[in-house]
Amino acid sequence: MSRLVDKFGREHTYLRISVTDRCNLRCLYCMPSESIVWKKRDEILQFEEIVRIASILVEMGISKIRITGGEPMVRRDLESLVARLASLPGVKTLAMTTNAVLLADKAAVFKSSGLTALNISLDSLQKARFQEITQRDDFDKVMAGIEAALAAGFESVKLNCVVMAGYNDDEILDFVEFVKDRGVNIRFIEYMPFPDNQWHKGRMLSSAEMIKTVEKRFRLVPLPGETGAVARDFALAGHSGTVSFISSMSDSFCGTCNRLRLTADGALKSCLFYAPEMSLRDAIRGGISDDELGKLILEAVMQKPEAHPPMEELVGMANRSMVEIGG
């Protein structure tokens, strides 16, 4: 089958699969404040369907898969999907992004099912503030989840922190202190606008500003990045922990983007900020062959825009909310 090369020459090797649009937290920057309409069970892809789509995409050159959501761990029997995706020949990295609320009891099971890497979202190290941001009282469970992930021996455990001016930007140095001797990577992410997610420019702190804050206390040493990586990575001189900055808004990385997204209801999204989608679910349920499905996927890849519009234009743009796309 053809490689996943778009009309700007970008080859796609990284697939993010959302397995549910439901979540057990209500993060202010992700979940719209007006209640969203959850997809019905029969609208969501079954594991069989996910594996079929993923295996075609792997044949077309995908080598890294990330499972996301909503909160992926609220989907029943997720470990069996992990095992099936891990066994696809050609998958070198199988990662998951999770809020870790349900991770403490499951980290070892996921590791033995074939998950290689975990990104855990944590936006505050303060219990009361965690509750304000997530609108749930689950801080202790998340911290236990992080400890379980570290004990389980994954190839990589990273923390994701969305930095919002006036909410948690005063904790940047606390986060660096938290990871510095644990061998963990902290990724500071710029706040992105999605429908009804309370974004405004004054609440977005740029990576450049975050770096200045970290450099007040630590010496940052640049590390070489992975191809297509969205983060700028730094070692912390004298420590095992590392720090990364994801500048999706102030300095976008569209030119080297290698990602495709499959939503929980089976839409292939070629770009986080490009609303048109291709429903692979409808094609599959209409009886399409694997060859034809490969051609349909390539058609969606060919429609991928060269770059997303600047942040001011993203506000108010028609799009799914982040909880429905999966990051």
* Site residues (vs ligand SF4, CB under 6 A): 23, 25-27, 30-31, 69-71, 99, 121, 322-323
As to burial, measured by CB atoms within 10 angstroms (0-12 exposed, 13-18 middle, 19+ buried), residue 314 is: middle
Q: Does 71 bind ligand SAM (CB under 6 A)?
A: yes
Q: Which of 13, 20, 68, 270 binds ligand SAM (CB under 6 A)?
A: 68
Asked whether 232 and 244 are in contact (CB, 8 A), the reply is: yes
Q: Does 149 bind ligand SAM (CB under 6 A)?
A: no
Which CB, 163 or 297, lies closer to ligand SF4? Answer: 163
Q: Which does 265 bind (CB under 5 to 8 A by kind): ligand SAM, ligand SF4, none?
A: none
Asked whether 18 and 325 are in contact (CB, 8 A), the reply is: yes
Q: Which does 189 bind (CB under 5 to 8 A by kind): ligand SF4, ligand SAM, none?
A: ligand SAM
> CB of 158: closest distance to ligand SF4 in angstroms?
15
Structure tokens at 79: 């470990």
Amino acid letter, 322: M
Asked whether 267 and 280 are in contact (CB, 8 A), the reply is: yes
Asked whether 293 and 324 are in contact (CB, 8 A), the reply is: no
> CB of 44: closest distance to ligand SAM in angstroms?
15
Q: Which does 95 bind (CB under 5 to 8 A by kind): ligand SAM, ligand SF4, none?
A: none
As to burial, measured by CB atoms within 10 angstroms (0-12 exposed, 13-18 middle, 19+ buried), residue 36 is: middle
Q: Which does 197 bind (CB under 5 to 8 A by kind): ligand SAM, ligand SF4, none?
A: ligand SAM
Angle (deg, nearest 10), helices 78-86 and 47-59 = 20
Q: Does 191 bind ligand SAM (CB under 6 A)?
A: yes
Which CB, 27 or 300, lies closer to ligand SAM? Answer: 27
Which of 168, 194, 204, 202 has its CA nearest to residue 34? Answer: 194
| Number of residues counted as binding ligand SAM (CB under 6 A) | 21
> CB of 59: closest distance to ligand SAM in angstroms?
27
How far is residue 178 CA from its own chain's centroid?
22
Contacting positions for ligand SAM (CB under 6 A): 23, 29-30, 68-69, 71, 97-99, 121, 160, 162, 189, 191-192, 194, 197, 322-323, 326-327
